[in-house]
A and B are shown apart, each in its own frame.
Chain A
Amino acid sequence: MSTFRIEAADRPHAIRLAIIWVVLSVLGIIAVLQIQYPPYDQTVQGQDQSRTLALLTAIATPVFIGVVILIVYSAIYFRRSSPELVDGPPMKGNTPVQVVWISVSAIIVLFLAFVGITTLATNSSAQTVPGQSSSLAGGTAGNAGSEMQVQVIAQQWYFTYRYADYGGVETTHLYLPVDRPVELHVTSLDIIHSFWAYQLGVKADANPGVDNVFHVTPQKTGSFQVRCAELCGLWHGQMSDAEGQVVSQSDFDTWIAQQQQDYAAIQKVVPSYAPYYFPVPLTKGS
């Protein structure tokens, strides 16, 4: 049994492979960095996620290209030409080569894990603004810059939204002011749903009796879509809303004032704002 090493006769192949790999990797990285990655940049968190995806793809590209060109190159130059079945020479490995590939793989994987965890942690942390509080009950209505509390309430088969900082007013569409950090409290009134605001970079489980907290900071005005991402019954496929909007603070103030005015008719019978709700009774009409 011999140690794995590149024979002199094979060196032209190795050099050729290395050149092809370097050239294709550079071209591949340039190409993948041109792609716009979802969920794009409507929110700070979405932009972070897009950048992370771009980075992960760029790092994965040379690995992918290396594997593919080895397979293709081998299939072209090293394929078995005779019909007889001959085993190759046994090899027991090469310590320097093993040290290099294990080290490189470990560094890449650990780096990617670090980047991914950092992005997750950044996305999950409250967007603190100097001089502003962000407690659930202590928000101040209309203060641009403070982290606004918005509760997302899922029910079969629609999402409604309550604005804790505006008297707990409930609305049928999600409007958010631009450049203002938002703390989303996602919950459900009946069964498990999933709040997926794709362009905002938020996908959060909506469970009854659970207050699931996510943070977003919209940075571009425009519309976004909300849909349920958890199979939840007959009309799950219809549980969506294309009328979500990120608007200017002044437009938001006008809109929320109108919502408060409309809400007054029902306000006295809607329960007080709470972090979550329980579906009661368990069985109706029995």
Chain B
Amino acid sequence: MIRRLSFTAAGVVVVIILVVAFVGLFMLRKPGQLAGPPTTIHLETVGAVGTANEWPRPNDPHPDWVGYLPTTILRVPANSTINVQIDQEDSATGLRNPFWGKVFGTEGGTMHMTYFDDKGNPQEGDMTSIDPTQAAHTFAIPDLGVFVPLLGVNSAAPAGSTNVITFSFKTRGPGIYHWQCFVPCGAKTVFGNGGPMQTLGYMGGELIVS
């Protein structure tokens, strides 16, 4: 009887340890921080993180999810100008709120973009807005007033093409600012706002200003 009770108690303890470890490891798991010069952010947006051109994550738990790569936890200095380059490889999904097709909060209120036109020819220029229906994603830091739409790669562009978007913005004081995508790009989820839109490490993250 005592032996049976001991086995039962030991089993319960093991199960509790496993459950606590599972929950704990899940809660503590965070993407790594971006390495590189502190005033430059270089990101890649892709339709599937498992098959990215620059920073593929084939072993990701969700290799077919859209995402920002190589990480969504960004560390930058306070009260500084941050130069951002986003290599945008995904096709257009379209904005739910077309208002976000406009650039807000960047230096000069513009972004610079190299992209492909409807005939597949490379183009380049400074822009203050894009066609909201052609947006693939947005890079938005609401608390800093930064909202930048990212044009989807034109279907006429050569395979494997990338739109390169560059812009600069200024940070304020130290703090953790969340950033996110405003395009409902979570494929196969209700309203497109599930999956990668609701999971840290894909379509949103933290800008750690220190």
Contact residues on A (Cβ < 8 Å of other chain), bracket: 20 to 34
Do B188 and A269 have beta carbons less than 8 Å apart? no
Given contacts A234-B198, A270-B99, A284-B185, contact A265 B129 (CB under 8 A): yes
Best-surrounded residue of A170, A172, A233 (most CB of chain B within 10 A): A172
Contact of A235 among B97, B99, B104, B180 (CB under 8 A): B180
Contact residues on B (Cβ < 8 Å of other chain), bracket: 35 or more
Residues of B within 8 A of A283 (CB): 188-192
- Could you mark each residue 138-166 of chain A with 1 if its beta carbon is under 8 Å from any beta carbon of chain B, else 0? 00000000000000010111101000000
Residues of A within 8 A of B67 (CB): none
- Could you mark each residue 96-108 of chain B with 1 if its beta carbon is under 8 Å from any beta carbon of chain A, else 0? 1111011010000
- Could you mark each residue 247-278 of chain A with 1 if its beta carbon is under 8 Å from any beta carbon of chain B, else 0? 00000000000000011011001110000000
Asked if B131 lies at the interface with its beta carbon under 8 angstroms from chain A, I say yes
Do B99 and A160 have beta carbons less than 8 Å apart? yes
Report how far A265 CA is from B109 CA in the complex, Å: 11
Asked if A241 lies at the interface with its beta carbon under 8 angstroms from chain B, I say yes
Do A153 and B180 have beta carbons less than 8 Å apart? no
Report how far A270 CA is from B97 CA in the complex, Å: 8
Q: Which 10 A-B pairs have the closest CB atoms?
A: A285-B187, A284-B192, A266-B102, A238-B178, A234-B198, A170-B99, A286-B188, A270-B98, A265-B129, A190-B191
Chain A residues at the B interface, C-beta cutoff of 8 Å: 153, 155-158, 160, 170, 172, 189-191, 233-235, 238, 241, 262-263, 265-266, 269-271, 279, 282-286
What are 27 pairs between A and B in contact, CB < 8 Å? A156-B197, A157-B180, A158-B142, A158-B182, A170-B99, A172-B145, A190-B193, A191-B193, A234-B198, A235-B178, A235-B180, A262-B102, A265-B128, A266-B99, A266-B102, A266-B129, A270-B98, A270-B99, A270-B132, A279-B191, A283-B189, A283-B191, A284-B93, A284-B185, A284-B186, A285-B93, A285-B192
